Structures are given as structure tokens and as C-alpha cells.
């Protein structure tokens, strides 16, 4: 008799476990989408979370023209070909602006460009930022600054980057690189990487590693002066 009771109890427990597993499998995608939506600044509504995270915008169009309300992860849509690399030229790459629009490095040629590749997990990158902020305030009318966050959507997200920039009070222009290709493009394995580019798209200088404010200012002044040579 005792053996029969144990068998029934085992069957009940097994059946209950199977029901729990089935419900978990059905709810997991919705719970995951809800969490991702909440993490990216969404409402946390399970029904709409998945749809909100799968919207694709054609290249050249904004996901949202209001920079204060666009909180989703940036998505690069590489429909426009990259520019061919000229002799001594900077290698072109895609980046995304604060409105979700896909751009290319070459779109900014026409005046000197300073590119800084960074991420919030990079301590050396953060050491440079006060100097870059001062440089942007002093040379922002003459030089195009592109502070490009290497945003993989996992270890580095737009939410982390934007929160850090906002809390630190930085005003320099922030962009996002989401294809994880730019470091390979330039043949380096670390950041910060700064690229100083002449107005015609040729490279003036590249610098791997953090710079002091004085070193940064010296390079920028040299870049500006080089345009007249």
C-alpha cells in the first residue's frame, strides 16, 4: 500500500514539473523581451516589448527625431557603400548618431575631423574625456568631433553610454559603432584610439592610448594648421 502511495505521489510531482516547464517555455520569450525593453528605457509592457525592439528603419531615416525620447539600442543599416580609401586616407566606417540615423565617417569630411573610439568599461578612455570636453568647447567650431562609443548592445549599451555622458556633464557629440568592425578596420586591438583626419579625408595622425590634455591640444592645433599647408 505504501509503495502505491509513493508511486502516485511521484506521478503527481512529475506531472506538476512538466506543467511548470511548459509554462516557463511559453513565458520565457515574453519575459526576456519585457526585461530588454525595460533595460532600454521602455515601458516594461510585456505585450509590446518585443515589437518595440524589432523596428528597423531604412538607412538615411531617423528612428526618432527626438533625441530625448529615442532610448532603444542603435542599429547600423549599411545600405550606402563606404567610401574608397585614398592614399594616406582614413578608412571609412559606419556609425549611428543620437537620433538612430546611420552615417559614415566620410560624411564628415570637408573640415578637420577628430575621432575618438571609447567605451564606458575603458578606464583610460574616461581619463581623456575632460581634455576632450575642453577641446570641443575651444575648437568645436573649426573641428568636427566624433566621440564614437563601441556599442555591442551587451557589454556596452547605449543606455550605459548615455547615462555616463549625462551624469558627467559632457557636451561633445556622441555617436555609436555597432558592427564591431572599426578596430579591425584600423588594425588595433584596444581603445582609446584617436584618429586626426584632414578635411580631405587623409590621416594627419593616429594615437592609440590615453592622451593628456596638453598632448591632445597640441595635436588638434597641428591638425588645424595643416589645413593651410
Record the cell numbers describing residue 67, joined without a space: 533625441
The pLDDT score that the predictor gives to residue 59 is 34
Torsion region of 153: left, alpha or beta (phi above 0 gives left; psi -120 to 50 gives alpha): left
Residues in Cβ contact with 101 at an 8 Å cutoff, skipping those fewer than 6 apart: 60, 61, 62, 63
Q: How many residues does the chain have?
A: 229
> For the chain, what percent of residues have pLDDT higher than 90?
62
The pLDDT score that the predictor gives to residue 56 is 30
Reported in sequence order, the residue ranges of 119-171 that DSSP labels E, i.e. its strands, are: 144-150
Pick the residue with more confidence: 45 or 158? 158
Radius of gyration of the chain, Cα coordinates, nearest whole angstrom = 24
**pLDDT tens-digit series, residues 119-173:** 999 999 999 999 999 999 999 999 999 999 999 989 999 999 999 999 999 999 9
Distance CA 100, CA 201 (A): 24
Crossing angle for the helix pair 213-226 and 123-139, to the nearest 10 degrees = 50
The CATH number of 94-226 is 3.40.30.10
Domain boundaries, the chain: 2-52, 94-226
Distance CA 75, CA 47 (A): 22
Residues in Cβ contact with 52 at an 8 Å cutoff, skipping those fewer than 6 apart: 37, 42, 72
Amino acid at each position: 500500500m505504501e509503495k502505491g502511495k509513493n508511486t502516485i505521489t511521484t506521478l503527481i510531482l512529475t506531472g506538476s514539473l512538466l506543467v511548470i516547464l511548459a509554462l516557463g517555455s511559453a513565458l520565457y520569450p515574453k519575459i526576456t523581451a519585457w526585461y530588454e525593453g525595460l533595460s532600454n528605457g521602455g515601458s516594461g509592457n510585456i505585450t509590446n516589448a518585443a515589437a518595440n525592439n524589432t523596428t528597423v528603419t531604412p538607412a538615411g531615416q531617423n528612428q526618432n527625431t527626438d533625441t530625448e525620447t529615442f532610448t532603444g539600442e542603435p542599429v547600423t543599416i549599411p545600405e550606402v557603400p563606404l567610401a574608397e580609401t585614398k592614399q594616406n586616407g582614413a578608412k571609412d566606417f559606419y556609425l549611428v548618431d543620437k537620433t538612430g540615423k546611420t552615417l559614415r565617417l566620410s560624411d564628415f569630411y570637408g573640415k578637420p575631423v577628430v575621432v575618438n573610439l571609447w567605451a564606458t568599461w575603458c578606464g583610460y578612455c574616461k581619463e581623456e574625456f575632460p581634455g576632450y570636453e575642453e577641446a570641443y568647447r575651444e575648437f568645436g567650431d573649426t573641428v568636427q568631433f566624433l566621440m564614437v562609443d563601441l556599442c555591442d548592445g551587451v557589454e556596452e549599451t547605449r543606455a550605459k553610454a548615455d547615462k555616463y555622458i549625462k551624469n558627467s556633464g559632457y557636451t561633445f557629440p556622441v555617436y555609436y559603432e555597432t558592427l564591431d568592425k572599426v578596430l579591425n578596420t584600423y588594425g588595433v586591438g584596444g581603445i582609446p584610439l584617436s584618429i586626426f583626419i584632414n578635411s580631405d579625408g587623409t590621416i594627419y595622425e593616429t594615437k592609440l592610448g590615453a592622451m593628456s590634455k596638453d598632448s591632445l591640444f597640441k595635436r588638434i592645433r597641428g591638425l588645424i594648421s595643416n589645413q593651410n599647408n
